[in-house]
Amino acid sequence: MQNIVEMMEYLKEVLSEKRYKHSVGVMKKAGELAKIYNVDIEKAKIVGLLHDMAKEMSFDEYKEYASNNHIELEEDDIKVIAVLHAKIGAHMCKEKFNFTEDMQNAVHYHTTGRAGMSMLEKIIYVADKIEDGRTYKGVEKLRELASEDLDKAIIQIVNFNIIKSIKQGKAIHPLSIDMRNEIIYKKVNI
């Protein structure tokens, strides 16, 4: 695995300045959360930095990459197109930066979440939504909640995303529903 400075230089080449700043923000927030939840800080920071490395590819580029690398694009991936960058990015991270399976999963599921997430996956999912560059209404409360109870923060994030998707007439990825239900079943008091 290359060092974080080399990774940052690579991202500057493939991402817009805005997306690069977001990625650095997620790296920082992932490191903070990893410290709180006793997860490998360097690993969390690297995954946070690279989680969106495929974000600015076109749909045709996703299809070509998937075809060239024997990645199956499922119907839900195509229906909720925003998740393609995560699936493709996870594979790219494995190939370019030798990511472990847990690190790949953290990239793959950072947009949808899923049932059975590891702590690293949860940290990246939350860090992506609450990094310091985010300014939407309620983000401060989510930042506080994330430092107290990651699962409660995830529930609030998913609830917000579901309501937003309904208002916009967009599909809700089934993995997000599965993640939410699993946490609800485990924590009745949320």
- pLDDT tens for the chain, 190 residues long, are 468 999 999 999 999 999 999 999 999 999 999 999 999 999 999 999 999 999 999 989 998 999 999 998 887 777 766 789 999 999 999 999 999 999 999 999 999 999 999 999 999 999 999 999 999 999 999 999 999 999 999 999 999 999 999 999 988 889 999 999 999 998 755 4
Cut 0.75: pTM above it: yes
- Burial string for 41-63 (b: 16+ CB within 10 Å, else e) reads eebbbbbbbbbbbbbebeeeebb
Integer CA distances (angstroms), 80 to 35, 89, 100, 169, 174, in order:
32, 16, 26, 12, 10
Kindly list the structural domains of the chain, giving each domain's residue range(s) and its CATH number in brackets, ordered by start: 4-186 (1.10.3210.10)
The dihedral through the CA atoms of 108, 155, 34, 7 has a sign that is positive
Q: Any idea which residue has 């075809």 for tokens? A: 67
pLDDT given for residue 116 in this prediction: 96
CA dihedral 179, 182, 187, 189 (to 10 degrees): 70
What is the C-alpha to C-alpha distance for residues 124 and 52, in angstroms, rounded to an integer?
Answer: 11
Structure confidence at residue 57 (pLDDT): 93
In contact, 42 and 27? CB cutoff 8 Å:
no
User: CA-CA distances (angstroms) from residue 66 to 56, 70, 92, 94?
Assistant: 15, 6, 10, 14
